[in-house]
Amino acid sequence: MSRIAFIGLGNMGGGMAANLVRVGHQVAAFDLSAAALDRAAAAGCIPAASAAAAAAGVDAIITMLPAGEHVRSVYAEAVFPAATPDTLLLDCSTIDVESARAVNAHAAAAGFAMVDAPVSGGIAAADAGTLTFMVGGAADAFARAEPVLQAMGKTIVHAGGAGAGQAAKICNNMLLGASMVATAEAFVLAGKLGLDPQTFFDISSKASGQCWSMTSYCPVPGPVPTAPSNRDYAGGFAAALMLKDLKLAMAAASAAGAPVPMGAQAETLYQAFAGLGGAGLDFSAIIKLLDGSWRAPA
């Protein structure tokens, strides 16, 4: 058993902290939201009065926060002042590569081992303890982080040095956003050319157009019964989160001088969809923008 601080107990962090408790860790929890903190307490975490109070006297600190600015401020104001230098630091939030590298550099200068460990898998995988972790950081920090992450995930990959986890995450999600748009527009064109969606799926899912957006999150209802398209695009991976990740990818591409025309187009489309009220739906609902059937909520 280890003593672990968990800061950020939202949709993802709540389930992750509960899984740490389940395998026997003692978890000190903090969130700005009293409701999130109450849920964590019900799952067996010990509520702390502040992020700094949670971070004091533990073996590892895990953060699961919305964006780079939250991570920068929580580490600067609470984690670095309160933690002891042998504490392992793990940031599992999805944030910009620059913030991840800046916080990691600050950690290294202060004598802490730190990894960026963003996740793939969503809320259901966070609850089930089946997340995929993409980990950036030094080899010895990864070796210490792996057993902690194993309580919350089933696949843990060392992607490289500081920031490499975030780099892998945003490149993967840029590919996913572009492939969903391409899959959706293929179904729209297939329909206009008189093809039945199931027939097109049966062919393309076995042909060279096959991809995860088609076979796991098919944007038309029917061919993949578990896909969000079968429940009016509720749940799944929100278009707002896809837009967030595409924006992170565009910022990273701009800083690195990498050409990303498909990712840029996907960002434009998800920005338009979010602006028209689609932010809360699964990202496969982008097909409604493309086929002209989207009606903004009243």
Nearer to ligand NAD, 93 or 284 (CB): 93
Q: Are 134 and 157 in contact (CB under 8 A)?
A: yes
State which residue has the least CB distance to ligand NAD: 10
- Region near ligand NAD per CB under 6 A, out of 7-15, 143-151, 152-160, 224-232: 7-15
Site for ligand NAD, residues 105 to 144, rule: CB under 6 A: 119, 122-123
- We find the least distance from the C-beta atom of residue 213 to ligand NAD, in angstroms, to be 16
206 belongs to the catalytic site: no
Residue 278 DSSP label: I
Q: At a CB cut-off of 8 Å and minimum separation 6, what does 297 contact? A: 277
Which one is catalytic: 154, 169, 206, 244?
Answer: 169
Q: Measured at the alpha carbon of residue 293, what is the angle toward residues 176 and 270, in degrees to the nearest 5?
A: 30
Matching residue, tokens 């990498």: 258
| Gap between the Cα atoms of 216 and 214, Å rounded | 6
Q: Are 104 and 116 in contact (CB under 8 A)?
A: yes
Show the binding pattern over residues 30-49: x = contacts ligand NAD (CB under 6 A), - = does not: xxxx--x-------------
Nearer to ligand NAD, 94 or 284 (CB): 94
- Is 237 a binder of ligand NAD (CB under 6 A)? yes
For residue 271, give the nearest of 191, 188, 181 by alpha carbon: 181
Which residues of this protein are in contact with ligand NAD, per CB under 6 A? 7-13, 30-33, 36, 51, 64-66, 70, 74, 93-94, 119, 122-123, 237, 241, 244
Active site residues: 169
